[in-house]
Amino acid sequence: MTKRGLAFLSGTLTLGADAAFDLKVQITFKGNPSELTDYGTYTVSEGGTIDFNSQKATPRLSTGTVSGNMITAHSQFGGIPFEIDVEK
């Protein structure tokens, strides 16, 4: 039987005081382990909107929001959009 689907196992999103970000998410896709990564710089505007400026040719993050202790970052895998929710 072939394993199907995408499963998120764990991960981190680090937002540095120097405006740098680093994303590492461990996944399995169709039963095969992999890691989603992204890095670059970010800006936070008034109202809590985050813009990620990736240094990768295929960025994982584009925008997000900060609300209280929660950060929601918008991403995609294989053209399928999803959100990453992180608690500070």
Query: pLDDT, tens digit, for every residue of 26-63?
Result: 999 888 999 989 999 999 999 999 999 999 988 889 99
In angstroms, the CA 50 to CA 39 distance is 14
pTM strictly above 0.95: no
CB atoms within 10 A of CB 80: 8
In angstroms, the CA 39 to CA 61 distance is 9
Banded pLDDT at 77 (limits 50, 70, 90): confident
Give the residue with greater pLDDT, 38 vs 3. 38
In angstroms, the CA 5 to CA 9 distance is 13
Is 80 exceeded by the pLDDT of residue 80? no
Tell me the HSE value of 6 on the side-chain side, using a 13 A CA sphere.
12
